[in-house]
Structure 1
């Protein structure tokens, strides 16, 4: 029997995510700016983790704190609203 070489796979290159707050210093994390904070929560109201959002550790802590403050002031929901049908 002849030995058949395995197919060589191409290496997969992933683009490194960049913290949008480090790139643009004009962006400010504020608990009153709900439109900016909506990018960092899921449809169900969960906070998106750092490895998915691409934030650095410092800005992820600030985003998390801002979301929690906005929730406390009832600017953002704690969970998704249940639609009853």
Structure 2
């Protein structure tokens, strides 16, 4: 019989909704680095605990910061 994972995870509150942020600034690299993995990939929504609306805005801000050379595309 396959093992079943019966662990229910509590949904986390969105960091940006709690602090009432409407605009995610691409120049705020300290905040954006929290949502990037060690391999410079954007952390998925389930792991970061961000709502869908802010995940889309976060991805856009990270991509803009990468193009402006504020964040790296990859790590060495």
Q: So what's the TM-score if we normalise by structure 2?
A: 0.84
> Residue deviations 1:39-83, cap 9 Å, x none?
000011000011111111110000000000000000000011x2x
Cα drift, residue 17 of structure 1: 1.1
Structure 2, gaps ≥5 residues long: 1-5
Distance 1:26 1:62, change over 3 A: closer
* Cα separation, 2, equivalents of 1:24 and 1:79: 30
* Cα separation, 2, equivalents of 1:62 and 1:27: 9
Partner of 1:76: 71
Q: CA RMSD, aligned part only?
A: 1.6
Structure 1, gaps ≥5 residues long: 1-10
Question: Which consecutive segments of 4 or more residues in structure 1 shift more than 3 A?
Answer: none
Q: How many residues align?
A: 71
Distance 1:47 1:75, change over 3 A: same
**Greater RCO (CA < 8 Å, at least 6 residues apart):** 2
* Cα separation, 2, equivalents of 1:67 and 1:51: 18
Q: So what's the TM-score if we normalise by structure 1?
A: 0.75
Cα drift, residue 26 of structure 1: 4.8
